[in-house]
Structure 1
C-alpha cells in the first residue's frame, strides 16, 4: 500500500511516516479524503507527491474554529483550496432547496461537515489568518463559478467567485497538468502576474491587457449581465464553447476589477492523460476515519478511460469544466491499472465500471482537430467525428483477459442515441458480457421541444431502442432491464412532462430515477431558467414556484 498523506480532521491529526512539521502545500477540502482517482483531493495530492512536494491536508474544517486552519505551519508555496467533488450548494441542498439528509462524501454519510459556499468560506478564513500566503482555488465549484453566474439557492446573479474567494489564482477543469505550472510560478516567479493556461486571475479594472500574450475577447460585463438578461444569455453562450485550446483569452469586467480567463492548451490535455497513467491510489478511505465514506463503495474498483464529453447538453456543466474534447487513455495504460487492481486486498474480480462522462465516447476524435463550436453530436453527428463502439469493445475484451478479473461492467452507462445501426452487434456484445441486470441510459425526456432545449437526442427514437434492446436480450438469453434517467421541470417544458408520463406507460418503464431540474451555476440551462429565454433568445415558460416544479414528478409518480 502507498503511504497516506498527513491529514487533520475533526481535531485529530494523522502523520505520514516522516512527521514533518512544515509542508510545501496544504490542501483544504470540503470532502473526506478518499485515496481514489474519482476524488479530486486525492488526484491533486498524488500529483504533487509525484512532483516531489511535501503535502498536508485539512479535511472538512469547522469554519468557526481557527485552530482547525492553523493546525499546520504556513505552507512554503501555497494553500490549495477546493469545496470537493461537487459544488457545495449542490452537495448540501436538494432541488427543493432543502438540506440533504446524507452526504456521501463525508464519514458515514454525515451531513453538515461542509459549509455552504465552501470555497468562499475557506478562502476568506485563510485570508484572515494568513494575509500574505499564496492561495490557489480549484475543483468544480471554482470552475462553474469563475464568471458571473446564476445562483439557484439565492435566486440571483453572483459575482465571479474570485471576488468572494480572494485567491491569487483559480484553476478550472482537471488540475493534473496545470498544477505543475502553479508550482513553478510560486517557486520561481511569485511576484509576476501569471498567464497560465486553464487558469483565471483577478486584476485591476482595465489593467494588464497590454501584457497578454494571446488575442483576447471582452465578455458582457458583470454589470451588463445584471441589467440585461439578454447579455447574461450572450455570456452563457460564449463560455459554453470556451474550453478548447484554440479559444481566445476571455475577460469579464467588473468595477471592482476584471477576471481574465486563459484557455486550456493542447499540451496540458496531453499531460493530463499521461499524469493519469502515472498516478496510483490505495482505493480506500484514509485511516483517520473510523466510519466508511459512502461515496467510495460504488466506484472503488472502477477505471477512468477518458476525460471530456462531446455532448452539448445544456443542463450539464461538464463542458465548462472538462470541455468538449475527448482525451482517451491508451488501452495499455488502462490494462496496466487493472493489473494493479487485481492485486488489491479487497478486489473480488469485478471491475465495476470502465468509462467516463459517456462510456461509448472512448476513443472518439475529430478528423480535422476540432472547430469553434464543438457541436459534435448536436443536432446530429458531425461527419468529421470518428465515432464507433469498436475502441470500447476492444478495451473491454482486453480487460477481461487480465488475470484475476472475472467480470468487467459498464456502470456509467451509454448514450443510447449515439449507437450506430451498423454496430448493433457490438452493442449486443456489450449487453451480453458487460451489463449486470440493468442498463443505465439517460434519455432525460421524450418531448422533442424539450429535448431540443436540452440539446440532447431530439431525433432519437427511444421506443425503437427499447424494442431492439429487449429483442437482443431474448436473442442472447439474458434478462436485463433498462433504467432510464428522466428530468422534470426543465425550462420551456410547458406541459411536456405529460409526455413523460404517457411514454412511461406505453413502454412500461421503470421510473425510479427521476430528478427535478436544478439550475447549476455556469450551465446554459441555468441561464435559461434565470432569463426565461432559450439559447436563441426566444421567450420560454419556466416553472419556478415549488408547486410548479414538483408537478411533473407528481404526474409521473401516479403512473
Structure 2
C-alpha cells in the first residue's frame, strides 16, 4: 500500500507553480480602481466571500487568494456583496477563469442564527460587528447571482459551508435532509476540506483550456458525473464491520451511498451514508463516493493529500498584509481583533468526536508548520501589527496539543479507517512522546 509520504512526493508541491509575475499586491483588489492601480485590465479569478476581507492567514479567502496570486494569477475579492441583484457581482468585471465562492469562515446559517433559530443581530466577521451583511445559505445565493452576472463563467464552491454540506445532509435550521449544496447552488465544482492543492490544480487546468467537466479526478473535488464503466460499485450496505473497514475488490472501486431520496426519508439509510463518509476520510485508502440525486450522480473524489511541513510553511509565509482592507477605515472587525496576535501552527484532528466537524473538514492527519515558520510569523506580528505589546495571545490551531503527533508506522497510517486515534483507548501506534 502506498504511504502518504510517497503520495506527497508524487504531487507537484504548492511552491512548484510559475513564479508571480511582478510583486504581490498590497491587498487583493476589491474595486476597479485598485485593479487599475495594479495595471490589471481583468482578473483571472474572482473570489466572493460572506466575510469582510481581512488579509490574514486566519481568513480562508485570504489564504486562497494569496496562494493563487503566488502561482501567477490575478485574483480579486468581492466581499459581502449586496445580494439583491447581480450588479455588485460585476464589480471586478468578468473573471477570465472562474468565480470562487465561500460563505466565509463559518457556515452562514450558524453565523446568522442562534441555536434557538433566532436571528443574530451582530456578526464578528463584519466591519463594525454589524449583522445582516450576508444572506441565509449565502453560498447558494452568491452562486445564483454570479450565474446571472456572467452565465458562462465556471463557479467553484469552497469553505466550511460547502465542505460540510457536500453530500445529502441534515439541516438543523429547516429540520429536514437537504440535497448536496452543489445540487442546490448549481455550481460546477465543489472543493471540500483544505483547498490549497485542489484550487491550484483547478486554476492551472482551466488556464490550460480544460473545462470543469474534465476536472473529474482531482482529489478533494465533488462534481456531478456518471460512474465510469471500468469502476466496480460497492454499495454501502455491503461493507464489513466498522472495525474491519470495507471489503476489498480488485481494480477501481467506488462506494455508492444511499441516494438523497433514500436518506431523506429513512434514518437508517442516512446513518449508513454518514458512517461511510466518516470511514472513507483517510487520504491513504479512501475510495471515491457516489450518491444519486434524482437522475444524476454526485461524485466525491478521495480527500486531498495533506500538506507537508514545507508546504504549510509556504502557505503561511505568503505576503499577507495582516490587516483588514483599507476600505473599512477605522471600523473594528471583531474576529480580526481576536486573532491578530495569534499564530496557527497546525491543522487537523484525530479525536473523531461525534459533536465536531474538524475531521470532516481538515482531516484526521495532523499537518504541522516548522518552528522556523512560526518564529517568522511572530516577527511579522511584531513588525507589522499595530498595538502589539510583546504578548502572543494564542499559538495553536484546531487541536494544538496534537502538534507533531502522528502514527508511528506510515503503512499502518495509510491503511487505517478508524475515525479516532484516542477512542475508546489511545492507539498504541500513536506517537505520544511529547
Is contact 1:242–1:320 with CA below 8 Å preserved after alignment? no
Q: Encode CA deviations 1:228-276: one digit per residue, 9 max, x unaligned.
A: 1001011111112333212001111122411111112436566752432
Partners of 1:295 and 1:305 in 2: CA distance:
18
Q: 1:339: which partner in 2?
A: 379
Give unmatched runs, 5+ long, in structure 1.
391-559
Which residue of 33, 55, 70 corresponds with 1:50?
A: 70
TM-score by length of 2: 0.84
How far does residue 105 in structure 1 lie from its aligned partner after superposition? Answer: 0.3
Residue among 215, 218, 237 paired with 1:196: 218
1:330 to 370, 385, 405: 370
Q: Which has the higher contact order (CA 8 A, sep 6+)?
A: 2
Contact 2:257 2:289 in 1 (8 A): yes
Aligned to 1:362: 403
In the other structure, the counterpart of 2:117 is 97
1:348 maps onto 2:369 in alignment: no
Q: Which secondary structure does the structure 2 equivalent of 1:351 belong to? A: coil
Report which stretch shifted further, 157-166 or 373-382: 373-382
Distance 1:144 1:223 in 2: 19
**Aligned counterparts of 2:385 and 2:110: Cα–Cα separation in 1:** 34
Corresponding position of 1:278: 317
Question: What is the CA–CA distance in structure 2 between the aligned matches of 1:209 and 1:91, rounded to whole Å?
Answer: 42
2: CA distance between counterparts of 1:317 and 1:277? Answer: 23
Q: Relative to structure 1, is the Cα distance of residues 312 and 66 closer, same or farther in structure 2, using a 3 angstrom cutoff?
A: same
Tell whether 2:30 aligns with 1:7.
yes
Asked whether the 8 Å contact 2:309–2:369 carries over to 1, the reply is no
Task: Report the equivalent of 1:372.
Answer: 417
Q: For residue 112 of structure 1, report the CA deviation from its aligned partner.
A: 0.4
Contact 1:243 1:321 in 2 (8 A): no
1:366-414 Cα deviation digits (max 9, x unpaired): 01232111420111211100124x4xxxxxxxxxxxxxxxxxxxxxxxx
* Aligned-residue offset at 1:207: 4.3
**Partner Cα distance (1:141, 1:209) in 2:** 32
Alignment of 1:30-109 (within 5 A): 30-109=50-129
In 1, the alpha carbon distance for the partners of 2:154 and 2:84 equals 22
- CA distance in 2 between counterparts of 1:362 and 1:190 reads 39
Whole-angstrom distance in 2 between the partners of 1:381 and 1:87? 32
Distance 1:42 1:382 in 2: 36
Counterpart CA distance in 2 for 1:244 and 1:57 is 33
5 Å-filtered alignment, 1:243-322, equals 243-245=281-283, 246-266=285-305, 268=307, 273-290=312-329, 291-322=331-362
Residues 521-540 of structure 1: matches in 2 within 5 Å?
Answer: none
Q: Aligned-pair distance for 1:336?
A: 2.1
- Structure 1 residue 281, shift from structure 2 partner: 1.7
Aligned residues: 384
Asked which structure has the greater CA Rg, the reply is: 1
CA drift of 1:13 comes to 6.3
How far apart are 1:280 and its partner, in Å?
3.2
Deviations 1:275-304 (A, max 9, x none): 324323222111011312111011101111
Matches of residues 386-425 of structure 1 in structure 2 within 5 Å?
Answer: 386-388=431-433, 390=434
Task: Give distance in 1, aligned partners of 2:278 and 2:357.
Answer: 9
TM-score normalised per structure 1 = 0.66
The CA distance in 2 between the partners of 1:335 and 1:268, in whole Å, is 19
RMSD value, Cα: 2.1
Q: Which residue number in structure 1 is paired with residue 193 of structure 2?
A: 173
2-side partners of 1:47 and 1:209: how far apart?
Answer: 36
